[in-house]
Amino acid sequence: MANIQAWYDRAERHLSSGGKQRSMADFTFCCIAIDHFRRTPEETAAKLMEVSSKAQENGEGYALDQATNAAAKVAAYPRSRSRLGR
């Protein structure tokens, strides 16, 4: 997940001004990890704990909630893989 780490670092710097924006960055990170990188919610939550200062502050429950909610959104709104050649 090296590419997603770089994305998260950029997003967190850009969104560092507030809690809700940081939560959105965490949620977006989880959506990308689950949808694009095919990670499980548990794997995603563990990685979120490594890269997100907000997740570190709020604990594993926060990280797992973000990842579980992201997995539900990805499942509810699948993107068209045909346009991506997949």
Whole-structure pTM value: 0.75
Nearest 5°: CA angle at 41, between 64 and 50? 60
Per-residue pLDDT at 63 exceeds 70: yes
pLDDT in tens, 19-54: 567 888 899 999 999 998 999 999 999 999 998 989
Cβ proximity of 44 and 67 under 8 Å:
yes
Helix, strand, coil percentages (3-state) for the chain, rounded to 5, are 80, 0, 20
SS3 15: coil
* Cα-based torsion angle of the residue sequence 49, 50, 52, 57 in order, rounded to the nearest 10 degrees: 50
